[in-house]
Amino acid sequence: MSGQADLFGETTGEEPGLPLAARLRPRGFEDLVGQGRAVAVLRGLAESGSLPSLVLWGPPGSGKTTLARLMSGAAGARQVSLSAVTSGVADIRRVIAEARQARKLGQRTVLFIDELHRWNKAQQDAVLPHVEDGTVTLIGATTENPSFEVISPLLSRTRVFRLEALTEDDLRKIVERGVAELAAQIEPEAVEALVNGARGDARIALNGLETAANLSAGRPIGLPEVEQALQAKHLLYDKSGDQHYDIVSALIKSIRGSDPDAAVYWMARMIEAGEDLMFVARRLVISAAEDVGLADPQALSVAVAAQQAAHFIGLPEAVIPLSEAAVYLARAPKSNTSYRAYGAAVQAIRETGNLPVPAHLRNAPTALAKAMGHGRGYRYPHDFKDGKVEQQYLPDAVKDRRFYSPGERDVRPDSLEPE
Give, in order, the Cα–Cα distances in Å from 207 to each of 7, 69, 202, 239.
Answer: 10, 21, 9, 23
What's the pLDDT score for residue 5?
36
Per-residue pLDDT tens digits for 154-198: 999 999 999 888 888 999 999 999 999 999 999 999 999 899 888
Nearest-angstrom CA–CA distance, 195 and 167: 9
Q: Which residue has the higher pLDDT, 289 or 29?
A: 289
Q: What are phi and psi of 11, to 5 degrees?
A: -100, 135
In CATH terms, is domain 168-230 a member of 3.40.630.10? no
Looking at residue 37, what is its pLDDT? 83
Judged against a pLDDT cut of 80, whether residue 273 lies above it is answered with: no
Please give the order of strands across the beta sheet that includes 109-114: 78-83, 109-114, 137-142, 54-57, 159-162
Q: What is the SS3 assignment for 257? A: coil
CA 124 to mean position of chain CA atoms: 24
Query: So where are the chain's domains?
Result: 35-162, 168-230, 242-331
Q: How many residues does the chain have?
A: 419
* 8 Å CB contact between 100 and 111: no
Position 415 confidence tier, pLDDT thresholds 50, 70, 90: low
Q: In the CATH scheme, what is the code of domain 242-331?
A: 1.20.272.10
- The better pLDDT of the pair 303, 368 is held by 303
Axis crossing angle, helix 319-331 with helix 260-272, rounded to the nearest 10: 150
Choose from 74-83, 199-208, 383-392 the range with maximum mean pLDDT.
74-83
In this structure, the strands spanning 78-83 and 109-114 are: parallel
CA-to-CA distance for 302 and 344, rounded, in angstroms? 27
Q: What is the DSSP string of 220-231?
A: PB-HHHHHHHHT
Report pLDDT for 232: 59
Q: Are the C-beta atoms of 53 and 215 separated by less than 8 Å?
A: no
d(CA 285, CA 283): 6
CATH of 35-162, one of 3.40.50.300, 3.40.50.720, 3.40.800.10, 3.50.50.60: 3.40.50.300
Is 242-331 in the same CATH topology as 35-162? no
Crossing angle of helices 242-256 and 260-272, rounded to 10°: 150
Average pLDDT, whole number, for the chain? 86
Q: d(Cα 313, Cα 62) in Å, to the nearest integer?
A: 18
The model's pTM is 0.55
**94 pLDDT higher than 80:** yes
